[in-house]
Amino acid sequence: MEQQVVMNTKGKSNEENEIINWFNMVTENTGLVQTQTLRRILELNYGVEYLKKWFGDTEIQDMDENALETLYTSLVPLVSHADLEPYIQRISDGDTSPILTQQPITNFSLSSGTTEGRQKYVPFTRHSSQTTLQIFRLGAAYRSRVYPVRPGGRILEFIYSSKQFKTKGGLTAGTATTHYYTSEEFKIKQEKTKSFTCSPREVISSGDYKQSTYCHLLLGLHYSQEVEFITSTFAYSMVQAFRSFEELWQELCNDIREGTLSSRITLPRVRKVVLDIISPNPSLAEKIEANCKDLEGSNWFGLIPKLWPNAKYIYSILTGSMLSYIKKLREYAGELALVSADYGSTESWIGVNVDPSTPPEDVTFAVVPTFSYFEFIPLHRQNKIKDYKSANDDFIEDDPVPLSQVKIGQEYEIVLTTFTGLYRYRLGDVVQVAGFYKGSPKLNFIYRRKLILTVNIDKNTEKDLQLVVEKGSQLLSRTRAELVDFTSYADATYQPGHYIIYWEIKGEVEERILGECCREMDASFVDHGYVVSRRTNSIGPLELRIVESGTFKKIVDQLMGNGAGIGQFKTPRCTSNQVLLKILNLCTIKTFHSTAYA
């Protein structure tokens, strides 16, 4: 999300230089900045019910930063979201007393629900929007140094504002992105950058992601010569959009040729705003049509630079559960660079990508020390595996250390104290310190710590599953098929329990090869508990279920209907949701069982 600004003679904007200079200043002495940040948080919220529970009547105003930091970390315990839920529930139900913050909490952000299997309520305040705008500006400044864009160019943004609703106490709840898109900060950004974005706010906030996606694509093609880069919040949204393009390109070409809008767009305000922009353009339609006919036969490789010849890069969150979409995104991107977006969570922004040319698999994020007060729990593996072949939860934990004391090469779980009422909150993200930007650590995101697959003594995380699926799906390279998406289920209905992995595949694959894929995945789990349990038959053979084309779209539709936002949607990598399992099982067309331990 770039901003249009006047360029100086050195080719960099004054605004870009200013925000990078600011970041350099706050990262020069992160220890001091962090203690000052903690003081601001505690002074802003001194006397709230939650802090008074731990501080009692202790006066903090005259304490120096280091003494306050020591007192805070000795009195206030580490917590999970579950520990804070009773307080959050009271606020949600309408309790206006200062429970977590002195300033009234009027909004709640909904987490994606991928890790816990359900969406969490997280306080959202004006500070949340301000830090979002700030990190967008900071990240844009670093990208501009590597991939400079033309003043006056446009951005094709696959961004979506989902439905908001009221809690029992009348507070507004919705996704964090939706809150941002309805905030004053976003309005300011849009006013300054109106000529940059392809889609007007009516498209972004339509509430129907399918209609928004079609209009994003249509307007992106309308402005195809002006588009400087292409972005989405998560890689999934972009891959989903271009998969839709494969099916809709002829309809899109017809709308461009005639200056019309497909009947699939039924929302009056969206129809009006799009029709006010587009006009008949037969030559552009002919050009797109010719490109698409060529690309159909090559699995759409290089689609993006073909249609948007002036695009400099593709920008999205590409870490964690998004890694599985990189292969497909690279096919669409051709030679265009994939740039990983900055690191944050529903609870807080954490770090900025200061090295945009780094491949997504190796990207690191420099912590922004003013956004929250950060602590890091050192994690030491009890087993001997150090190369992330296993990401199990057999850890010995040390006491948390402040940001200024982390060490290169060490793994940590992040702990947050935020301006929005979260105190010593265990985020569940496991990171490794890869280096430093001045005095601020550069973090490599490893995985979410939450176990997602377990039926016995086995312990497997999303990272483990990701590696196993990658190993098994490599066998598809013998064919022209590709893995569209996947999820899993730890089935303990019968004994012995076993893992079920669901695959949606595009293309034809011999059953023999799919059987090999199943066996390869079963043999690729390296968690000791799983291997021992399989050898003793206390976990049954892995089961691979192939689902029909479009199954994962049905899952998206189901979750969107329950209030999830496509802009922050992440396919659940493991599910016990009976509604989703019913969809998966009804759509299963082939089943395979592993013979790896036969």
Place of tokens 């695959």: 503
Give first-to-last CA distance, the chain, whole Å: 54
Give residue 540's identity as a one-letter amino acid code. G
Q: In the predicted model, is pLDDT for residue 458 greater than 80? A: yes
CA 80 – CA 450 distance, rounded (Å): 12
Q: In the predicted model, is pLDDT for residue 185 greater than 70? A: no
DSSP β-bridge partners for residue 433: 443
Closest CA to 575 of 114, 234, 240: 114
Task: Say what the pLDDT of residue 195 is.
Answer: 45
Least-confidence region, from 147-156, 347-356, 410-419: 147-156
Task: Say what the pLDDT of residue 114 is.
Answer: 46
Q: In the predicted model, is pLDDT for residue 194 greater than 50? A: no
**Which tokens in the block code for residue 88?**
């959050």
CA 457 – CA 544 distance, rounded (Å): 21
Judged by DSSP in three states, 201 sits in: helix
Question: If you average pLDDT over every residue of the chain, what do you get?
Answer: 87
DSSP β-bridge partners for residue 367: 351
Task: Say what the pLDDT of residue 115 is.
Answer: 44
CB 100 within 8 A of CB 87: yes
Place of tokens 């300011």: 188
Task: Say what the pLDDT of residue 386 is.
Answer: 40
CA 41 – CA 518 distance, rounded (Å): 51
Residues in the chain, total: 598
CA 458 – CA 446 distance, rounded (Å): 20
Whether the pTM exceeds 0.85: the reply is no
CB 453 within 8 A of CB 115: no
Judged by DSSP in three states, 173 sits in: strand
CA 468 – CA 477 distance, rounded (Å): 16
pLDDT tens-digit map of 461-488:
888 898 999 999 989 888 888 899 999 9
Task: Say what the pLDDT of residue 1 is.
Answer: 32
Closest CA to 251 of 288, 203, 304, 199: 288
CA 512 – CA 592 distance, rounded (Å): 10
Q: Mean per-residue pLDDT for 13-24?
A: 89
Q: In the predicted model, is pLDDT for residue 567 greater than 80? A: no
Cβ-count burial 570-591 (b if 16+ within 10 Å, e if not): bbbbbbebeebbebbeebeeee
- For residue 456, the tally of other CB atoms under 10 A from its CB is 19
Q: Omega of the bond prior to 496 within 30 degrees of 0, cis?
A: yes
Task: Say what the pLDDT of residue 190 is.
Answer: 60
Closest CA to 445 of 354, 558, 538, 365: 365
Task: Say what the pLDDT of residue 389 is.
Answer: 38
CB 165 within 8 A of CB 174: yes
Give 160's pLDDT tier (boundaries 50, 70, 90): confident
